[in-house]
């Protein structure tokens, strides 16, 4: 039972000099909407605190609506507070921050919404609702990235950046389980339309284990993860991170160089026993350019170059920009394209002719062509392969500044009129185009979960080549990505919502 406390009578005092300033409650914090719980607080105190908050630019709602982001209470009995909140049953309750009055007083003192810490949160201590209580709607988050819409806007970057470092560290140590666990956890947090501000908010989220929650709690409490900081200062991690940033150098080569005592690029290049392949030589030669991000404007300029080369060869060619730029990212490490032609079989000769044309234009700095090994009779493949069997080429192209709208994305102090950019081209047959487009668009975690969903939930096998129904024992045809989603019984996710 909640009782309104007796508020002592306060002697009226004359207003200070600042009363001459006209009162105006200007809203400063649009994204924060408070609701002050009157129970235990009392009507008079709630009215006073509401006026105080509004005078400092906060929005304070009079009723507990789905617009509320922060619920503030003086009730020290968490169980009774949460029982009352659940009886009110706002749909957005799982996403609301339920906070102790200490957060409110800290915010009033600072004149802004302070970061929510664990000590501010009033945790839900009710294991289950009574049978006669109405069910509380829960904002369900799927464990599969292919059932979540993830844009480029990441509200939880402080956590996902930490998870990516931990995942990469496990990858360098060839420990697959925790590596995938942290990548899945990062993917879930990236999809959230709200920022995690207390550990209780992660209670119903999938793919978050004890380790990931411990990292979240540490960041919430201290603003950083000491485990991540230790990794970032570790010599082996930093060296492997540096070496794998070179085009053509993978984790195993990096580990081999590290074990030989090499710690820098100059160590590698000065060691006569190190024999670099062509790709690695080009990687070191153009490192300053290709280790730098490629802008969206530069990707568009490269598409114009490739488009012109392709359509000179065959007017009916189909060219699609894929990868991160198709997902509407502003920057990427390289630029990926799919190129094909409606006439089956004709696509096999496209890439060598394109490479030759780029070479004649004087803009081809490096090329590695891999002929098609695609064979439909060898499908379906029951194990996941990182790379498909279509014809492809890995290129480094010279991009002139005059070709880029707004100019090149330059490094500081770079006054050249051009830069080197990594470009990948893949050429599937037209009847495999939809599968290749879906696979090459990414993101990596989206594709991984899409294939896992197909296998676990639908008993199907999906890769860049085909979709196979194991129950019907047949391949399912698709001319568009939407056809593939429909076969899987999934709601279609737009490319810009696949940034998992």
To which residue do tokens 């060869």 refer?
Answer: 313
| Distance, CA of 221 to CA of 117 (rounded, Å) | 6
Q: Is 334 a catalytic site residue? A: yes
**Residue 427 tokens, joined:** 């050429």
| Distance, CA of 109 to CA of 107 (rounded, Å) | 5
To which residue do tokens 């670099």 refer?
Answer: 276
Q: 16 CB contacts (<8 Å, ≥6 apart)?
A: none
Catalytic residue among 336, 388, 449, 463: 336
Q: 183 CB contacts (<8 Å, ≥6 apart)?
A: 163, 164, 167, 445
Tell me whether strands 467-469 and 474-475 are parallel, antiparallel or unpaired: antiparallel
Q: How many CB atoms lie within 10 A of CB 138?
A: 12
| Distance, CA of 303 to CA of 305 (rounded, Å) | 5
Catalytic residue among 368, 424, 469, 483: 424
Cβ proximity of 183 and 167 under 8 Å? yes
Burial 436-465 (b: 16+ CB within 10 A, else e): bbbbbbbbebbbbbbbbbbeeebebbbbbb
In the three-class reduction of DSSP (H, G, I as helix; E, B as strand; rest coil), residue 447 is classed as helix
**Residue 441 tokens, joined:** 């668009």
To which residue do tokens 């975690």 refer?
Answer: 445
Q: 160 CB contacts (<8 Å, ≥6 apart)?
A: 154, 186, 189, 190
In the three-class reduction of DSSP (H, G, I as helix; E, B as strand; rest coil), residue 204 is classed as coil
Cβ proximity of 299 and 325 under 8 Å? yes
Catalytic residue among 106, 124, 289, 334: 334
User: In 3D, which of 370, 462, 390 has the Cα closest to residue 430?
Assistant: 390
Q: Is 132 a catalytic site residue? A: no
Burial 246-280 (b: 16+ CB within 10 A, else e): bbbbeeebbbebbeeebbeeeebeeeeeeebeeeb
Could you give the residue numbers annotated as active site?
334, 336, 424
């Amino acid at each position: 039972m909640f009782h309104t406390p007796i508020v002592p009578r306060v002697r009226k005092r004359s207003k200070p000099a600042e009363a001459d300033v006209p009162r105006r409650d200007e809203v400063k914090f649009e994204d924060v909407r408070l609701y002050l719980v009157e129970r235990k607080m009392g009507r008079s105190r709630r009215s006073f605190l509401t006026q105080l908050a509004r005078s400092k630019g906060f929005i304070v709602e009079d009723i507990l609506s789905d617009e509320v982001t922060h619920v503030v209470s003086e009730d020290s009995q968490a169980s009774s507070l949460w029982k009352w909140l659940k009886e009110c049953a706002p749909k957005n309750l799982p996403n609301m921050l339920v906070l102790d009055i200490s957060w409110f007083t800290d915010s009033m003192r600072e004149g802004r919404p302070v970061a929510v810490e664990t000590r501010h949160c009033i945790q839900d201590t009710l294991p289950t609702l009574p049978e006669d209580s109405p069910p509380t709607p829960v904002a369900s988050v799927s464990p599969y990235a292919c059932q979540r819409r993830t844009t480029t806007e990441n509200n939880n970057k402080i956590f996902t950046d930490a998870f990516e470092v931990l995942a990469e560290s496990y990858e360098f140590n060839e420990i697959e389980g925790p590596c995938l666990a942290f990548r899945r956890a990062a993917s879930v947090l990236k999809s959230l339309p709200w920022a995690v501000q207390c550990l209780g908010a992660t209670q119903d989220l999938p793919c978050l284990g004890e380790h990931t929650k411990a990292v979240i709690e540490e960041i919430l409490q201290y603003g950083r993860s000491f485990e991540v900081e230790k990794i970032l200062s570790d010599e082996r991690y930093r060296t492997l991170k540096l070496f794998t940033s070179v085009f053509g150098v993978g984790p195993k080569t990096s580990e081999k160089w590290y074990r030989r005592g090499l710690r820098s690029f100059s160590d590698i290049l000065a060691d006569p026993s190190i024999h670099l392949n062509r790709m690695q030589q080009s990687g070191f030669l153009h490192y300053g350019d290709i280790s730098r991000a490629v802008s969206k404007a530069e990707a568009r300029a490269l598409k114009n170059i490739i488009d012109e080369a392709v359509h000179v060869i065959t007017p009916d060619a189909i060219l699609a920009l894929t990868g991160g730029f198709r997902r509407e990212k502003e920057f990427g490490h390289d630029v990926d394209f799919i190129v094909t032609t409606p006439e089956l079989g004709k696509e096999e000769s496209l890439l060598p002719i394109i490479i030759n044309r780029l070479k004649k234009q004087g803009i081809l700095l490096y090329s590695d062509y891999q002929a098609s090994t695609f064979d439909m009779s060898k499908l379906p493949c029951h194990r996941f392969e990182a790379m498909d069997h279509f014809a492809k080429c890995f290129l480094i192209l010279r991009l002139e500044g005059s070709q880029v709208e707004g100019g090149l994305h330059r490094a500081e102090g770079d006054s050249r009129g051009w830069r080197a950019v990594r470009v990948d081209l893949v050429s599937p047959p037209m009847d495999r185009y939809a599968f290749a487009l879906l696979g090459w668009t990414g993101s990596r975690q989206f594709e991984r979960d899409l294939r896992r969903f197909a296998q676990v939930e639908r008993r199907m096998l999906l890769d860049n080549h085909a979709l196979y129904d194991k129950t019907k024992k047949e391949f399912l045809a698709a001319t568009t990505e939407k056809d593939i989603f429909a076969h899987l019984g999934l709601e279609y996710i737009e490319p810009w919502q696949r940034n998992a």
